[in-house]
Chain A
Amino acid sequence: MKELLKLLKQNSRLSNGELATMLGKTEGEIANQIKELEAKGIIRGYSVILDEELADSDVVSAYIELKITPQPDRGFDEMAKLISAFEEVESVTLMSGGFDLGITITGSGLKQIASFVSQRLATLDGVLSTRTHFVLKRYKEKGILIQDDPGDERGVYL
């Protein structure tokens, strides 16, 4: 299972047949394992890694640090779930250290993100403060390089 997940993390578009070949299993076994991983909620979905700038040059992303007041009984969960429900929000993580929730968001311009933060996030009950960092350039995401292929430096010296 571990090897299967490793391969899927590298490229989730590998077919069951290809995965089976590489792992020395049958296609049926792979299909069952994936079904099981999905049923257990270990695999939550499949996405794509884009060079956002190439896909749409107007797109802007931001990383937002949020400090919030934990609620009695539920801690940070309630607020995290509430924020996760916003469609613009791409990721929500509870952090240790100087702030509580880390949020990534992608929008079609600075203004859109600014208004989301000021009108929807900052106004939530329990949000103490926000800090917004705009993404200038992406180099790597989920293990995938968002850079030009450096080419093969290896020569054939023998």
Chain B
Amino acid sequence: MTPELGQLALVLAFLLAVAQGTLPLWGAWRGNRALMAVARPAAAGQAVFVTMAFAILAWAFMHFDFSVQYVADNSNLTLPWYYRFAAVWGAHEGSLLLWVLILDVWTVALLFFGTRLPEVFFARVLGVMGLVSVGFLAFLVFTSNPFGRLLPEPPNGADLNPVLQDPGMALHPPVLYMGYVGFSVAFAFSIAALLSGEVEQKWVRWARPWTNAAWGFLTLGIVAGSHWAYHVLGWGGWWFWDPVENASFMPWLAGAALIHAQAITEKRGGLRAWTLLLSIFAFALSLLGTFLVRSGVLTSVHAFASDPRRGVYILIYLVIVVGGSLLLYALRAPKMTASKPFNIVSRETALLIGNLMLISAAAMVMLGTLFPLIGDALHLGRISVGPPYFGLLFPLLMIPVVALMPLGPFLGWGDADRDQITSILIRIGIAAAACALLTAFLTQGTFKAILGVASLTWIGIGVLLYAYKRYRTAPRGRRYPAEMAGMLLAHFGVAVFVAGVLLSESLSVTHDVRLAPGQTKEIAGYSFQFNGVHRVTGPNYRADQGVVTVSRDGSTIAVMHPQKRTYSNEQVQTESAINGGVFRDLYVALGEPMDPKNIEGAWALRLYYKPFVSWIWIGGLFMMCGGFVCAADKRFRIKRIASEVTPAGLVVEPQESAA
């Protein structure tokens, strides 16, 4: 009986979403306050029913209700409870439900923090959020019901995709969706602004914290996914330019561009149309990601179940939402924007170049991702462009970004103190060159390593110099407003990330070796002793577990346990053993036994020494913190009924505030 209640809750949520998506917009158009007032209760009610549906599905998983098809397909009696909970979003139907639930989380946050927005504007924002929600709820109700029954009830279920049976991967989808769906808020703000016809500067200020927070979540989601690939796929790689990864990376790039464009629009009034367009892009790319992953148009190593009919549905939805928005943009975007004039050497120029590079990178990634499809369409055969394409073009596009990043904060809005810029350039240039020379000496001239250290110093010293300048010149308590602190954190994260990528790529040592029990292999001063493989049993898998003792100069550093797991549906999954550190990771993955009948004999093993690889994720986490800290800035809170013009004094020292 309960699963039917879940379905009923979804239907009710759908009806409320229809009300939320139509009546307030109609009301805002006709000036009818009663209709506009529907927005709030409808949104709240929708959230309640979606949460209910989600809770009922989770409950069915907890109580092994295999009469529900979705539960039977994605869990079994031996699956531990935490993975049964993660199984709620382990396949298509449930992940859509999670999508809607997270959309409602953002909507409720809007209801909570947006109370002081002007009535008409707020009604429009909620209306747009409602329309977004209608599409996904209709998708759930009409094509992808998670509560479908299975008769007769099987005694046991299948299994959750073993890929998801990992703490990092179980949490990856909700966090990633928080990012994806979070861009819907900035999107709703821009659509509301376009609908109202008066694209003023102030809506951008209200939209900024939401963009920053969503981008922070997206960063965390990508970091988690990349770290999962690193320790589960067993190749020691952390990014594969796979379609599913690219799908999350494109909105990230657009989001980064949007964050900086919003800064220009809010502070200087310029680029209004561009900011509007970027808000649409960021959300459109999020939807596109969902489409690419769910429709099966592109094949991927992540191989999720996909279905062309669902692809058609999402495609139609994309046409309506994104096509409609872009059409609205074409009709209503401000023709001329009154921007304060700016000099060629100014923060605006730097941010514009950065924006251009980020969006070009997003377009480049999209082209590469869709290349097999284009190949089919033009009868060139199914060609994929892999890491050689991305690995060449992406760094090239990022060179100007890295080069300008430390200067950005020193450049003033509109104009810059050129003497100061020159002196900063000299200082960070000397520091970078000195560190590069030192690295060249230490690594016998490894180009990537030198470049990595140079970039780290270039950006890092730039960020520190700016922090020091603020410390010296600004009065206590106003030295680091959250907005600026967030910017410094995120930029510092980029420095750490770039260094991590370049250093680990150039200095890693990899060995594929065949080792019999007792044998030892020396890598980069560490000696790996293989102590054989034995069988172990987990809650729902059996595994061949190796024991590798790592020592250096005679003292044991770690005992590592790489596994090769076989889950109950015969799917095999490697679990690498990683001994992590700030300056190096030791990484051991099990290959194949030399003799399949004798697992206690010799094995093929993959041994890695990866210096600085953790900096990749540490850098990512810095960027995430930057997004969140920035979003928390008090300046973005709506202080009063915002139809008033903000007094000039509130815009704190535009010369000095962060981008």
Chains A and B come from one and the same complex: no
